[in-house]
Amino acid sequence: MALTDAPASTPTDADVIARVSRREVLDSPRDVSVGYRAELLRVLTIFVDSELAGTAGMVPFINSAPGLRERATAARMVAEKFDHARQVLEIMEPFGINPGLYVRAHCWSSRLDRDMDLGNRHVGGDKRLNVFHAPVEGWLDAIAMTMLMGTAVAVQLADLADGSYGPLRVVMAGIIEREAAHARSGETALSQAIARHGSPAAAQVAVTYWFPRVDRTFGRLDSQHFERTRQFGLRRRANTELLNRWQADMHPRLAALGLAPPPPPA
């Protein structure tokens, strides 16, 4: 075998960090190091598991929507979230992930006690964000959560869309657009629910419950793990910056509905 035909060696973490520091984009599993692969799959697993768990929590409430238009919107959101999970699982497949087995690996509809406060502790066998361990209670609760979490997801994914793995960048633009649309649908449905009730009181109860749980999906503000993802170019912005963006977006939108975030814990 000629020297030029020798198989390329696996890049080291240092090789990958040097490339992404030059804003290069990695296009395939052949371009990544062992450390990069682990970090990429961790990020993608959290996204897929959260989409599957979040969708499983929404499905029972489609028929709780007040009209056919709202039911059709909720059903479309569920279908789109399943498609988001499919697109990202296809990115994971060349790394040895079997999508068919993956979606059957966990009980995505499982939930914990509603009053349990998990903080940032990870629990359970899958990697869903902790907000998706909390059960939804009724249509109004579902749409409040959709507005808050959909907006948070769009903010968080915008960071991945600017990341260093090319196949992920390709799919993220469309996913972000749909997640933002889901948040707007939740906001519209919440506005309509407030009008039907003649008061924002019930909606405020839902917002007070979900707001701090969505807040914590941004992770620890002193996260040591962020530096690793930043070095690999998978993320560019710290948790604090993303959280501030979400809060700055949510506060005026809630105020327009006569709602307010709960006061921060003492």
Question: Per-residue pLDDT for the chain (266 aa), expressed as one digit of tens each?
Answer: 333 333 468 899 999 999 999 999 999 999 999 999 999 999 999 999 999 999 999 999 999 999 999 999 999 999 999 999 999 999 999 999 999 999 999 999 999 999 888 877 778 789 999 999 999 999 999 999 999 999 999 999 999 999 999 999 999 999 999 999 999 999 999 999 999 999 999 999 999 999 999 999 998 777 778 889 999 999 999 999 999 999 999 999 999 999 999 987 76
Residue-wise DSSP of 100-152: HHHTTSS-TT----TT---TT---SSS---GGGGSPP-SHHHHHHHHHHHHHH
Compute the distance between CA of residue 21 and CA of residue 237 in angstroms, rounded to an integer: 15
Tell me what pLDDT residue 8 has: 60
* Domain 25-107+134-256 in this protein, CATH class: mainly alpha
Tell me what pLDDT residue 153 has: 96
Tokens of 151: 């907006």
Tell me what pLDDT residue 49 has: 97
Compute the distance between CA of residue 239 and CA of residue 16 in angstroms, rounded to an integer: 23
Give the contacts of 256 (CB within 8 A, at least 6 positions apart). Answer: none
Q: How far is CA 128 from CA 107, 122, 247, in A?
A: 11, 9, 22
Compute the distance between CA of residue 27 and CA of residue 165 in angstroms, rounded to an integer: 6
Tell me what pLDDT residue 4 has: 38
Q: How far is CA 131 from CA 50, 165, 210, in A?
A: 9, 27, 8
Q: 168-190 burial, b if ≥16 CB within 10 A, otherwise e?
A: beebbeebbebbbbbbebbbebb
**Can you give the residue ranges of every domain in the chain?**
25-107+134-256
Tell me what pLDDT residue 266 has: 63
How far does the chain reach from its first CA to its final CA, in angstroms? 69
Tell me what pLDDT residue 30 has: 95
Give the contacts of 73 (CB within 8 A, at least 6 positions apart). Answer: 65, 185, 189
Q: Which amino acid is at 26?
A: L
* pTM higher than the cut 0.85: yes
